[in-house]
Amino acid sequence: MTELWVVVPAYQEAARIDGTLRALAAQRDRDFTLLVVDNGSTDATPDRVLAFAEHAPFPVELLVEPEKGVGSAIDTGFRYAIDHGARLLARTDADCLPEPGWSAAARAGMLASGGLVCGKVTARHDEHGPVGRAVFRVLVALGALFGRIRPAHRRRHGYLTPYRMHAGNNMAITADLYLDCGGMPRRPSPTDRAFINQIRRQSTAIVHRRDMVVQNSTRRIRAYGLRGTARWYLERGAGHRGVDVR
C-alpha cells in the first residue's frame, strides 16, 4: 500500500488526459497510487484512463463523482484516498503536464513541512507561443498580487500566516492537515483561495517548492478571452461565458 496518492479530477478530457498520464508515468518517483476522479464526463475520458491502467507503472483507480464541480471531485478523491491508506496527497489536473521531478518534490515537501506544499505553474509549450506564455505569467502574477493585497486576506481576520498564491493544479497536502482544515470546498471552480484560507486558519505549515513544477494548460485564455481570464484569476467570474472549463 502506497502512502502517496496522486489525485486528478477530470471532465471531458479525452483529448488531453493521455498527455497527463504519460507525464505521470515519466516521474522519477513513481511510488504512488493514481486516482482519477471523473466528474461526469460524457466523452471517452474514463476509457482513456482504463486503457492506461492496463500498462501503468503504478496502481491506477478510477472513481466517478456525479456532483458537478472540481471541488466536489477533489474532496471525494482525497477522502477516498485517505480511507484507503493515503498519508500524503498530491493533485494535478487532467490538462496539465507535471515535470519529471514533480512527485518527488511533492513528497519531500510534505515530509519536511507536515503541511501544504505549493508548486510552480508554467504555461504548456504545446498550446501557445512565447507571447501566450508571457500573458499567462502576467495573469498568474496578477492573481498572486491581488491575493496578497486583498483586505479580506489580511492576518487580522484570523489567519496564522501571510497569504500565499496556491495553484490547485499543483499542490500537495498531508492527509492529517486536509482533514483538520475541513477539506476542499465542494463547489465549482475556482476553489483555490477558499482552500488556502482554510489552511491559513489552521496551520502555518505552508511551503513553496520551485522544483515542483507543472505545465499548465492555457486553454482558458482561448475559452474566456484575456479579460474573462483575468476576471477568473481575480475570482470575479469569467463574465458572460458559456464554456464549462472545470
Exposure letters 23-40 (e unless 16+ CB within 10 A, then b): bbeebeebebbbbbbbbb
Distance CA 107, CA 93 (A): 18
Per-residue pLDDT band for 194 (boundaries 50, 70, 90) equals confident
In the predicted model, is pLDDT for residue 245 greater than 50?
Answer: no
- Maximum pairwise Cα distance, the chain: 51
- Domains of the chain plus CATH, in order, are 4-120+166-216 (3.90.550.10)
Q: Please give the pLDDT value at position 171.
A: 97
Type of residue at 63: L
pLDDT one-digit tens code per residue, 49-60: 999 999 999 999
Among 49, 42, 95, CA closest to 246: 95
Per-residue pLDDT band for 2 (boundaries 50, 70, 90) equals confident
Type of residue at 201: R
In the predicted model, is pLDDT for residue 180 greater than 70?
Answer: yes
Q: Please give the pLDDT value at position 232.
A: 53
In the predicted model, is pLDDT for residue 154 greater than 90?
Answer: no
pLDDT one-digit tens code per residue, 48-91: 999 999 999 999 999 999 999 999 999 999 999 999 999 999 99
Which stretches does DSSP call E strand in the chain? 4-10, 33-38, 60-64, 88-91, 97-98, 116-123, 171-174, 206-216
Which stretches does DSSP call E strand in 20-170? 33-38, 60-64, 88-91, 97-98, 116-123
In the predicted model, is pLDDT for residue 151 greater than 70?
Answer: no
Four-CA torsion 235, 70, 72, 16, nearest 10 degrees = 180
Q: Please give the pLDDT value at position 246.
A: 46
pTM equals 0.86
Q: Which position has the grid cell 513513481?
A: 30
- Of 244 and 32, the one with more pLDDT: 32
Q: Please give the pLDDT value at position 192.
A: 85
- Residue 38 phi, psi dihedral angles, 5° rounding: -80, 130
- Of 228 and 65, the one with more pLDDT: 65
pLDDT one-digit tens code per residue, 158-174: 788 887 777 889 999 99
- Of 201 and 242, the one with more pLDDT: 201
Highest-pLDDT range among 121-130, 135-144, 236-245: 121-130
Q: Please give the pLDDT value at position 164.
A: 76
